[in-house]
Chains A and B, each alone.
Chain A
Amino acid sequence: MRILVVEDDPTLCDVIARTLRDAGHAVDVATEGDKADAMLALDPYDAVVLDLNLPGMDGLEVLARARRRGVAAPVLVITARDTLDDRIRGLDAGSDDYLVKPFDLRELEARVRALLRRGTGAAARVEIGSVLLDTAARRVFVGGEPLALPPREFALLEALMLQPGKVVSKAKLATQLSAWGDEPLAPNALEVFVHRLRKKLEHAGLEIRTMRGMGYMIERQDG
């Protein structure tokens, strides 16, 4: 994938570019707004990481101009400004995501990955532990072997695996489950489904944690 990184701080720019190159992408950099504007006009990129506070042309201006020209590449805005107004202005100008400095490098990588998925429309394949979930094909593999799951359990696993390391609320999970099947969900149905999933995914290198009062979270189990 071709990615453009626009950031005026040399240290930050360097480390972002290196990280993305290590992940296998082709990375171009720009340290000024005017240069970024010119580069966006010349070459197509699959994703853009854009700092807002740039010398010369301001980041939002670069973004607005690119969108006017019809550049459709997804843009991740990174910035020190974190008020609601700033976020809204960024989104209105055409950005797709917003990350506040200082950020975790892993967070940046994950968000760029998410943007790239959006851009190419590639099927989401999520792997945690030895479990591989293919959302497009609606199939689960554990240690390479396919695992048959009824639709509701699959929907539950999918909802959890698409947000690894994040708590998914009971309300949201219940909504996902009730989309499948004609009968309404019994009150404890969610717990029952989680229990069944846990049994099927024992020793698969991941754990479904109960977050009391909130929901569930899936994460890789080490050891």
Chain B
Amino acid sequence: MAFSRTRSDRASLRRILLARVLLPLVAIWLIGAGFTFLSTRKTMTAAFDHDLVDTALALASRVRSTGSGTEIDLSSRALELLLYRKDEKLHYGIFRTDARPVAGEPTLPLPAEPPPLDQPRVYDARFRGVPARVAAVTILPAGAEEPVMVLAAETLHLRHAAEREIVVYALLPQLALLLVLAFLLRESISKSLAPLNRLSTEIASRSADDLRPLVEDPPSLESHRIKVSVDDLMGRLDTSLGAQKAFVGDAAHQLRTPLAGLKATGEYALRQSDPVAWRTAIERMLASAETSAHLVNQLLALAQADGVTAQRRPAVACDLVELARDRTMELAPAALRRGVDVEFEAEVEPVVIRAMPALVAEIVANLVDNAARYTPAGGRVTVAVSRTDHTAELRVSDTGPGIAEDEQARVFDRFYRGRDAAPGGSGLGLAIVRAYARVMGATVAIESAPPRPGTTVVVRFAGARSAA
């Protein structure tokens, strides 16, 4: 799977980065270029206008008032030189203040008002159908009684040519540089993101049971962190899966023993011909089957504990007294059949905790079943629920032999069955209790001090209240 080409509704990081850098860059550049162009043009216009005004003033300085009228005291050659521009010719005109032409081009566009004396003015106008720029100055020629206006006009031809030059020689190179920059940015970003793509590809190509660390190690800090986190997660998964596989293996092995007993007893029974022997054999086979069934149920319960954590079922407010009593009531007859008495105690009720009722019931069931198994006939199992401040306690006590201190920690291990193990147990009861308790944030402890008889398993829940 080539991630860089997958069509997706998510935007590519590369595109996002490029867009986030380039778009502002281009915008800024455009604004800058705009300002550059406008300010350059302003300066240029001023220069052109200055030149135009100079021409008008030069003409004005040569205006004479003679007996035959007003005229420019310049040879035609000199005039031609004065009005010469590359690719252009300036036009001039002299007018009376009442707009009557006196010399030069009579059709020059006049200003709205004659400018004040000796104060040249420049303005836009149209001359012979094209836009033009005109400089006008009012003077009083030597020897004249009335002022005249001297006009110098040019088309915008040269100005526009100059503007084009600005663009070509100033802005275009800058644009080229911008494009080079954009290209370099794109390459740089692509190169930086490439390790991430390679990381994705490597992860995608891993099979479900290959949880070794990733080979690809991106040089950049953030990407490297991603690799480290993924490696860490895979490491944890590996451990967890390994534990599960080991568990399933152990479970299968554990089941073999009662099944072996079952099979062997059946084979033995077939060799007998005495009904009494058959009856005994069948009873033993039934016992083995019960053991196997019990083990299977416990295994399923343990597997469920993992499932529960994975699904994160929500805890609800429930009454520990009611849950414990109901479950104890269900289990009491079976214990009685073993000759073990069952009692329930709750000084106050309800004792409300936040927990998962099904798991609490299973904890009670496992503890009572355990206690009954390890109590000889004539003994008693007591289930008690109490609350101290915000801690709720579930205590299951028996009058059996007790658990030695060095065994107390190990009894919670899966498949561990103590030195005085009762037959038929699976070794999983307490493991289940601990697993379920953990899911609900409760603690499990053992109180037992042999040779004094009796064992009490205490499960403590935090956050207990006296009412829902």
Could you list which residues of chain A lie within 8 angstroms of chain B, going by C-beta atoms? 82-84, 102, 165-167, 169, 209, 211-215, 217, 219
Contact = CB atoms under 8 A, between A and B. Distances in A.
B289 to A, nearest CB: 7
B300 interface: yes
Contacts of B346: 213
Interface of B: 289, 293, 300, 304, 325-326, 328-330, 332-333, 336, 342-346, 358, 383
Contact of B344 (A83, A84, A165, A211): A211
Would you list the 5 A-B pairs with minimal beta carbon distance, nearest first?
A213-B344, A167-B329, A212-B343, A102-B293, A214-B344
A211 B300 contact: no
Contact of A82 (B300, B325, B329, B343): B300
A167 B345 contact: no
A6 B232 CA distance: 50
B329 A169 contact: yes
A169 B325 contact: yes
Contacts of B358: 84
Contact of B332 (A83, A102, A214): A214
Contacts of A213: 325, 343-346, 383
A213 B300 CA distance: 31
A167 B330 contact: yes
Contacts of B328: 214
11 contacts: A84-B358, A102-B293, A165-B333, A166-B333, A167-B330, A167-B333, A169-B329, A209-B336, A213-B344, A215-B329, A217-B332
Contacts of B329: 166-167, 169, 211, 214-215
A211 B332 contact: yes
Given A166-B330, A211-B343, A212-B343, 5 more contacts: A84-B358, A169-B329, A209-B336, A211-B329, A215-B329
A127 B344 CA distance: 29
Nearest to B300: A82
Contacts of A102: 289, 293
A82 B342 CA distance: 27
A166 B336 CA distance: 11
Nearest to A215: B329
A219 B337 CA distance: 11
A169 B325 CA distance: 9
Contacts of B343: 211-214
Contacts of A165: 333
A106 B300 CA distance: 24
B294 to A, nearest CB: 10
Contacts of B332: 167, 211, 214, 217
A164 B304 CA distance: 32
Contacts of A215: 329
Contacts of B336: 209, 217
Counting chain A CB atoms within 10 Å of each CB, the highest count among B333, B343, B358, B383 belongs to B333
B293 A211 contact: no
A167 to B, nearest CB: 4
A167 B300 CA distance: 27
Given A83-B304, A167-B329, A211 B289 contact: no
A211 B342 contact: yes
Contacts of B300: 82
Contacts of A167: 329-330, 332-333
A84 B358 CA distance: 9
A212 B325 contact: no
A35 B254 CA distance: 38
A51 B325 CA distance: 32
Contacts of A219: 333
B310 to A, nearest CB: 14
Nearest to A168: B329
Contact of B333 (A83, A169, A212, A217): A217
A165 B326 CA distance: 15
A212 B330 CA distance: 14
Contacts of B326: 169
B122 to A, nearest CB: 92
Contacts of B333: 165-167, 217, 219
A149 B236 CA distance: 68
Indicate the member of B326, B336, B346 with the most A CB atoms within 10 Å.
Answer: B336
Nearest to A210: B343
